[in-house]
Amino acid sequence: MALEDRTAQPSPVLVEHRGSLTLLTLNRPDKLNSFNEAQHRALKAAVDAAAASDTCRAIILTAAGRGFCAGQDLSDRVRPEGGTAPDLGETLEKFYNPLIRAIRAMPKPVIAAVNGVAAGAGANLALACDLVLAGRSARFVQAFSKIGLIPDSGGTWMLPRLVGEARAKALTMLAIPVPAEEAERIGMIYRAVNDDTLMSEAIALGEALAKAPTRGLAETKQLLQQAFTHSFDQQLDGERDAQRRLGRSADYAEGVRAFMEKREAAFRGQ
Ligand code: LHQ
């Protein structure tokens, strides 16, 4: 009989495939799923695998336990008085920025199912996802100012676009916790839902998106993300180019056929 390996650590990110839907679960609940290096590496690998997969057509990012993610694991970062200062820019360059870029570039929809508090980089990780659902007990805290930092992981870019500059400044400078329902009301997230139905609603949404015309969704995502930095003319050109590509896709042909035949379309993501 094989001996049990008592030193084995639980995987910091759980990956579950449900047909074309991939569920990624941050899994360091006793640390509120805050990021250490192992969790960073595991999540980035899982995100990259989902992006490259032909089968996966939608992703849900959620977390185990009572929190979604408390940002950086600060217990890794305690510096004794007089100790050498860390290079936080390097941490961003190596871990957070590639992760956020990968989610924004993902050619399929990413749903965040925020099951509890999302703080610091954990809040901005959620906001980088395409559709954010949050349980009513969840809250979003731009906790950075409490420890002398700026809102990273795309926070300074996303927040003013989502909630306006005035609110963005107050929420970040004062580190005000925003409950899920208020986050929905001010346009920070898509929807607040009951805690006990969060996962079933996220999965229903994920399954619907996993059956949708994936290439069209990917082009929609990219165009909307460019909208605030492109001119109107650039955006019209971008729409023309995307529509040209999609007009040649199998899913567009199927969509039109299905409409004319008054039946549900069977999109294959091609
Ligand atoms: C934690 C953490 C945590 C370790 C809760 N680490 N243990 C990028 C570049 C490089 C470095 C720096 O950072 C960054 C990006 C960032 O994310 S900076 C921002 C880092 N995050 C924070 O500042 C958030 C710190 N946490 C909190 O403010 C609170 O814990 C929140 C609001 C998340 C939750 O509050 P509560 O619900 O009241 O829970 P709690 O405070 O009692 O925490 C529960 C436990 O989790 C507790 O441990 P314990 O052993 O006492 O049960 C906390 O120490 C631990 N924990 N966050 N980030």
Residues 43-93: tens digit of each pLDDT = 999 999 999 999 999 999 999 999 999 999 999 888 888 889 999 999 999
Among protein residues, the one with the nearest Cα to ligand 1's atom 42 is 32
Q: What is the pLDDT of residue 1?
A: 43
The answer, yes or no, to whether residue 198 has pLDDT greater than 60, is yes
DSSP 249: S
pTM value is 0.96
Rounded Cα gap, residues 151 and 221, in angstroms? 23
Mean of per-residue pLDDT scores for the chain: 96
The answer, yes or no, to whether residue 123 has pLDDT greater than 80, is yes
152 Cα nearest atom in ligand 1: 15
The answer, yes or no, to whether residue 6 has pLDDT greater than 70, is no
Mean pLDDT of 252-261: 98
Rounded Cα gap, residues 172 and 152, in angstroms? 11
141 Cα nearest atom in ligand 1: 32
Residues 6+ apart with CB under 8 A from 144: 71, 120, 150, 151, 152, 155, 172, 175
Residues 6+ apart with CB under 8 A from 97: 153
31 lines ligand 1 (CB under 6 A): yes
188 in the Ramachandran plot: left (φ > 0), alpha (ψ -120 to 50) or beta?
alpha
72 Cα nearest atom in ligand 1: 17
Lowest mean pLDDT among 2-6, 156-160, 230-234: 2-6
Rounded Cα gap, residues 118 and 65, in angstroms? 12
In testing the pocket of ligand 1, which one of 26, 30, 32 has its CB within 8 Å of the most ligand atoms? Answer: 32
The answer, yes or no, to whether residue 4 has pLDDT greater than 90, is no
Rounded Cα gap, residues 9 and 57, in angstroms? 30
In testing the pocket of ligand 1, which one of 72, 97, 146 has its CB within 8 Å of the most ligand atoms? Answer: 72
91 lines ligand 1 (CB under 6 A): yes
Rounded Cα gap, residues 82 and 64, in angstroms? 37
The answer, yes or no, to whether residue 176 has pLDDT greater than 90, is yes
Query: Taking the alpha carbons of 248, 252, 210, 240 in that order, is the dihedral positive or negative?
Result: positive
Gap from CA of 93 to ligand 1 centroid (Å) = 21
Among residues 100, 117, 234, the alpha carbon closest in space to that of 156 is found at: 100
Rounded Cα gap, residues 257 and 263, in angstroms? 9
User: What is the residue whose two structure tokens read 């941050």?
Assistant: 26
Under 8 Å between Cβ of 11 and 42? yes
74 lines ligand 1 (CB under 6 A): yes
CA angle 232, 236, 237 (to 5 degrees): 120
Q: What is the pLDDT of residue 3?
A: 52
Mean pLDDT of 186-201: 98
73 lines ligand 1 (CB under 6 A): yes
Strand partners, 135: 193
The 10 Å Cβ neighbour count of residue 84 is 7
Mean pLDDT of 18-24: 98
The answer, yes or no, to whether residue 2 has pLDDT greater than 50, is no
The answer, yes or no, to whether residue 8 has pLDDT greater than 80, is no
Q: What is the pLDDT of residue 76?
A: 80
